[in-house]
Amino acid sequence: MKKYSKLFIVFLLVLSLAVSIIPNISFADSGTDYPGNDSGFDFKIDPPESTIIYFDKDGNKIHDTNSIYWIEFTLSDDGKYLSFEANNVSIDALAVKGGNGYRLYENLGSSRSGFRSPDNNGGNIPEISHYSFNIIIDIPEEPWIGKVRVIKTVTDPNNIQSPEGISFTLIGPNGYEKTKETDDEGIIEFTELEEGQYTLTEDIPDGYLSSIGNGKTIILPDDADEDYIAEIEVENRKIPDESDPKGKITIKKLVIDPEDNIIEDGTEFEFEIYILNESEAWTLLDTVTIVGNSSVTVDGLNPGEYMIKEIDIPNGYTLTSDNNLEVSILEDVEANVDFTNQKDNETPPKWKGTIEVIKNVVDTRNATPGLSGFAFRLYKTNESIEEFISEQTTGSTGIVFFSDLGEGFYKLYELDRAGYIKGMSNSGLSLVLNRETTNEDRLLKVNITNIADYPDEENPETPEEDDDDDDNPPPDEDDDTPPPDEEETIEEEIPEAIPETPEEEVIIEEEIPEAAPEIKIESEEILPEEEIEIVESVPLAAPSLPATGTTSEYIFYGFGGLLLAIGQFIRRKK
C-alpha cells in the first residue's frame, strides 16, 4: 500500500509541473507571454481602439487617403479581445499589452481573431492597454494590359477620301465596347485591354471597300509580353466607276539562255489578268498571248488592284522571275511588269546499251548440236531488288539480244537446259553495263557454254573442269616417257588380287613381343609370301618378326592326327 502511495505522489508532482509549463508554451494561436512592456514594433495603437489603417506599397502609414493596402482592427466591447482583417497586407508580429505583461503573436496572415493579453496574478484576463504590430505589404500582380492599334490607309485615284475621321468599334470580353475615330494620320489606339478575343469593325465610307470587310477578329494572348500591341492595317479602296480615269498594264516577255543572254525566240507564252473584286477575291479579267522577247499592253482598266499570272509554261523553259505579280492602277497610270523565262539546254539522250548472249554447246556424240530453244531471262538489280526486263529464247544461231538498256547492274538467268549440264550457276550471272564494260557499239558480249548430259557416261566434264585441265594437261599418247619409278615398283610387287596392306598393320606387328610363338592375322585370306617384300620397305628402325602363316595349317592338323593314331596303336599292343 505504501508503494502505491509513493507512486501517486510522484504522479501528482509531474502533473503539477506540466500544468506550470504548458501556459508558457508557444502555440500557433496562443502566442507567447512576456513580462513588462513590448518594444521594437513599427506601429502602436495606444489607447486601444477599433480602427482602419491605410498604407502605401512601401509599407508607410497613409493619413486621410484610401489605398488598396489596409488593416482593420476591431476591439471587443469588454476591451479584452482584439481581431483584424487586412487587404494586400499581412501581420508579421502582434503584441497585445495588458496587466504586467504582453502576449506576442507571429505570422498571422491577413485575418485572425481572439487576441488578448496574458492573465494577471489573480488568473483573470485584464483589459488590453495597447497593441503593437509589424506588417508585410503583399503587392498584387498587376493585371495584364494590352493595346489595339489601327492604321488606316485609303486608295483613291481622285484623292477625295481622307484617312482621318473614320470610325472603328472594338468589342471584347466582359462587355467591353468602345468606338473611336482615326486621327489625321489615320491611327486609332484602344488601350488598357485585358486578354481575350476582340472584334474590330469599320464604318466604311460610301463608295469604298474595306480590307477587313464586315469585321476582323483580334486575339490578345495571355502569354504575351507587357505592353503588347496588336497592330491592324485597314485599307479603304475606292470602288471604280465609269467616270474614273483609266489605266493600262504593259506585260513584257524576255527569253534568256543559261548564261543569262537574251536570245531570239518565237515561242508563245500565255498570261491571265485578274482584278480584285468587292468581295476581296481575284476575278479573271482577260487572257493574252505574248511571243518571246516582245510585249503586250492592256488598256482601259479601271483604277484598282490587278494580278498578272503566267500559265502553261512550255516544256524546255523555266520561269526565273516572280509569278502572280500584283499592281495597282491609279488615275491615268501605266504599270509595267516583266516576265523572264530561261530556255533550258537540250538534254542529251540517255545512254543505252545492249547485252548479247552467245550460246555454245559441247556434245561428245554430236559434232553439230542445235543451238535453239535455250531461254534466258534478264533482271535489273538495285541492292536486293530485282526488276524483270525481258525473256529471250535462242534461235538457230544461239544468239539473243537484250537492247535499249540503261547503265546499271543486271543479272542473267538461264531457264531451260533439258538434256544439258548447266552452263552457269542457278543463282544467275551478275553483269555491269556501262561505258567502260561495253565496246564502241555499246555492246556487252556474254558467252554461255552448255555440255550435253549422258547419264551412262561417268563424271562428264564441265567447263570448270576444262579450266583445271588447262593447268594440268593430260600426257601425250605418243610420249614414251615411263611413269615414275615408285609407281612401277609397287604395281609389280603387289598382285592385283591382293589388296594393299595398310601401314597401320606394320605398326601392330611392332607391338607383338619377340617371344610370341605364333601370330595370327584376323583375315580370311592368306597373304602370299611375296608380301614379305612390303615389310622390307618398313624403315630400318622398325623391329621385324619371323614370318607367320607361310605353311598351311592343314599340314599340322594331319601331323597331329598321325601322332594320335600311333599312340592308340601302341596302347592296344600293350
User: How many degrees, rounded to 5, is the angle at CA 194 between CA 189 and CA 196?
Assistant: 100
Does residue 103 sit in the same domain as residue 77? Answer: yes
What local confidence, expressed as pLDDT, does residue 463 receive? 44
Examine the domain organization and report whether 486 and 441 are in the same domain: no
CB atoms within 10 A of CB 288: 15
What is residue 455's predicted lDDT score, i.e. its pLDDT? 66
pLDDT on residue 6: 62
pLDDT in tens, 360-391: 888 888 878 888 888 899 999 998 899 999 99
Phi/psi of residue 445, nearest 5 degrees: -95, 135
Coil, helix or strand at residue 183:
coil
In the chain, the number of structural domains is 5
Higher pLDDT among residues 186 and 535, named by residue:
186
What would the grid cell of residue 330 be?
491609279
pLDDT digit string, tens, across residues 451-465: 876 766 655 454 444
pLDDT at 327 over 80: yes
In order of 265, 290, 329, the CA distances from 320 in angstroms are: 16, 17, 25
Question: So what's the pLDDT on residue 4?
Answer: 57
Q: Which of 432, 453, 471 is the last residue of a domain?
A: 471
pLDDT at residue 179, rounded to an integer: 94
Same domain for 97 and 58, yes or no, is yes
- Residue 489 placed within a domain: yes
Domain identity same for 231 and 261: no
CATH number at residue 206: 2.60.40.10
Q: Which strands sit side by side in the sheet containing 375-382, from one edge to the other?
A: 385-393, 375-382, 408-414, 429-433
Q: Are residues 50 and 93 in the same domain?
A: yes
- Grid cell digits, residue 384: 536486293
Structural domain contains residue 219? yes
Model pLDDT, residue 515: 43
Distance separating alpha carbons of residues 483 and 475, to the nearest angstrom: 10
Q: Which residue has the higher pLDDT, 200 or 330?
A: 200
Residue 1, in any domain of the structure: no
Residue-by-residue DSSP string for 423-459: SS-TT-EEEEESTTTS-TTSEEEEEEEEEE--TTSSS
Q: Are residues 50 and 72 in the same domain?
A: yes
Q: For 312-369, where are the E strands, in sequence order?
A: 317-319, 325-329, 334-343, 353-362
Q: Sort strands 228-238 and 208-210 into parallel, antiparallel or unpaired.
A: antiparallel
Q: Considering the domain boundaries, does residue 284 fall inside one?
A: yes
| Farthest-apart Cα atoms in the chain, separation | 179
If asked whether residues 109 and 82 sit together in one domain, one would say yes
Percent of the chain with pLDDT over 70: 71
* Digit-coded pLDDT (tens) for 486-517: 433 333 443 444 344 444 443 434 444 444 44
187 lies in a domain? Answer: yes
Looking at the domain assignment, is residue 9 inside a domain? no
Residue 530 is placed in which grid cell? 611375296
Q: Rounded to an integer, what distance in angstroms lies between the CA atom of residue 517 and that of residue 509?
A: 13
- Least confident window among 178-192, 216-230, 542-556: 542-556
In the predicted structure, residue 23 carries a pLDDT above the cut 50: no
Range of the domain at 357: 353-471
Distance of CA 212 to the CA centre of its chain: 42
- Return the percentage of the chain with pLDDT > 90, whole number: 31
Q: What is the mean pLDDT of residues 34-62?
A: 92
Is 393 inside a domain boundary? Answer: yes
Pick the most confident of 7-21, 93-107, 427-441, 465-479.
93-107
How many Cβ atoms from other residues are within 10 Å of residue 335's Cβ?
19
> 507 and 458: one domain?
no
Q: In this structure, are 359 and 464 located in the same domain?
A: yes
Q: Is the pLDDT of residue 61 over 80?
A: yes
Domain boundary at 471, 504, 534, which? Answer: 471
Q: Which of 137, 156, 180 is the last residue of a domain?
A: 137
| Domain match, 159 and 233 both | yes
My answer on whether 83 and 166 are in the same domain is no
Is 11 part of a structural domain of the chain? no
Same domain, 27 and 130: yes
